[in-house]
Structure 1
Amino acid sequence: MAFDAAFLAATIPAVILMGLAKGGFGGLGLLALPLMSLVMPPVQAAAIMLPLLIAQDVVSVWSFRREFDAWNLATLMPGALVGILAGYLLATMVSDAAVSLVIGLISLGFAIRRLTAGNKPKGPATKATVLGGTIWGAISGFTSMIAHAGGPPFQIYTMPQRLPPPVFVGTGALFFAAVNLAKLPAFIALGEMSSANLAIAAGLLPLAILATFAGIWLVRRIPPERFYTIIYWLLVAIGLKLIVDGSRVIWST
């Protein structure tokens, strides 16, 4: 793959956004893989991103290693493994255009939900349950396998519990560290962990680590909400483009 201007223009911001997300700006990471999918096949983009995510997980897990909710992890992980398997099976059965269409739909759906959520009144705090964790864990595992976008389902399940902020972030860090490791065999089976893709990931690794540390530093000083509106509108635009491009290829075959 040529490291041309389009490749760099999509990949460098994607890696920075994912690093900031790992550092605590959770919603920013939604834009990373759709952005990369504009210049390469989406499964290849996800494969290149996965080693970076695993490296970033080391930083985020270490930073929040003492603050997490074990019961949430126990209820989420079994469903997440099922969701990862479903995402793998989808990737083996459909074309790159169909995967692009799915990523576009996921991106558009999550972006519209966040943009239209508004300031809803808070109800009573909920508790983690086996059924809820299994359902939302499965959705999170599936969207994470397809688009590295497992954050929104995780947030839908855990945010109503009103966990202390460090515990919320730490639980997410441990959960997605486990999810990303679980996705590795699936991408190997897909044949996407090639030497070429790993070489690209290695070249982007220093930037990914620096961006993660920057996110950890910034999240303690800047309200994340300042960034979210712009990011979600960009996600709408990119999601629509992926939907159009994927649909055009599917209908032309």
Structure 2
Amino acid sequence: MISGLSGADWTLLTIAALLVGVAKTSIGGVGAISVALFAAVLPARESSGALLPLLIFGDLLAVAVYRRHVNWPLLLRLFPSVAVGILLGTVFVAWVDDTVMRRTIGGTLLAVVLVHLWQRRRPQTGTGRVRAAVFGLLAGFTTMVANAGGAVMSVYLLSAGFRKLEFLGTAAWFFLVVNVFKVPFSAGLGLIDGDSLGLNAALVGVVVVGAVLGRAAIKRVDQGRFEKLVLLFTVVSSLNLLR
């Protein structure tokens, strides 16, 4: 994997790793761009496994910074349906090709954003448990298929009215638990191996730089702009996956 990469490939992967760090400590929607960049350099299936260890490292950094700002009751409601979504995503990855996988994720993410915008114009009609089950299933499926669960969780946490720090802390713990849970499934599908781990080792320092930049940037972003940026990056990344 590493020996076949060109200078342009390394540039894109470095930018992606930088954005992983930024996403984990700042604007979560930026993380979807990392998914798209990895998929642009590597085959879609392999890119998912190659990105996962970097995401876990970013999760550890985010938990270290925001560990006190977490809503555990909400997470406990989400985890059962997330586990089901991950199992469904594992079966999906094992059976479909790259094109179908990319377009399925892109369409799902775009649909989630549209539903969120629609719900903002009218009172919520579902119960908290029903909404948690639906979003948990979507988050588990999309994170297993393309590490794109961040966009689903971003929309869910925004719809729940989370402020910046609680948003970031809850998301940090959620993805640390979920991404570690995904490791044996990804390894079983052959998406994580010695070659991909070598790529991770070359990029892990860039994630740290991104996390530091994200931490500095989030202090300058107000709540309204924060929500708009999350949705904007989610839409852009969704459209890219639909190509």
Q: Smaller-chain TM-score range? A: 0.7 to 0.9
TM-score, structure 1 as length reference: 0.82
CA RMSD of aligned residues (A): 2.9
Matches within 5 A, 1:24-103: 24-103=26-105
CA distance in 2, matches of 1:206, 1:54: 13
Which stretch shows the higher mean deviation, 86-95 or 152-161? 152-161
The structural deviation recorded for 1:222 is 3.8
Structure 2 residue 151 is matched with structure 1 residue 149 = no
The structural deviation recorded for 1:19 is 1.5
For structure 2, the residue ranges without an aligned partner over 5 or more in a row are none
CA distance in 2, matches of 1:69, 1:75: 11
2:158 counterpart residue number: 159
The structural deviation recorded for 1:165 is 2.9
2:240 counterpart residue number: 238
One-letter amino acid of the structure 1 residue matched with residue 12 of structure 2: A
One-letter amino acid of the structure 2 residue matched with residue 46 of structure 1: S
1:173 counterpart residue number: 172
What's the secondary structure of 1:191's corresponding residue? coil
1:191 counterpart residue number: 190
CA distance in 1, matches of 2:31, 2:143: 11
Count of residues in correspondence between the two structures: 238
One-letter amino acid of the structure 2 residue matched with residue 191 of structure 1: G
The structural deviation recorded for 1:122 is 7.8
CA contact (8 A) 1:75 1:128 kept: no
One-letter amino acid of the structure 1 residue matched with residue 191 of structure 2: E
One-letter amino acid of the structure 2 residue matched with residue 135 of structure 1: V
CA distance in 2, matches of 1:154, 1:239: 18
CA distance in 1, matches of 2:127, 2:8: 44
The structural deviation recorded for 1:130 is 2.8
What's the secondary structure of 2:68's corresponding residue? coil
TM-score, structure 2 as length reference: 0.85
What's the secondary structure of 1:37's corresponding residue? helix
The structural deviation recorded for 1:229 is 8.2
2:215 counterpart residue number: 216
One-letter amino acid of the structure 1 residue matched with residue 70 of structure 2: F
For structure 1, the residue ranges without an aligned partner over 5 or more in a row are 242-253
Tell me: CA distance 1:228–1:80, structure 2 relative to 1, closer, same or farther (3 Å).
closer
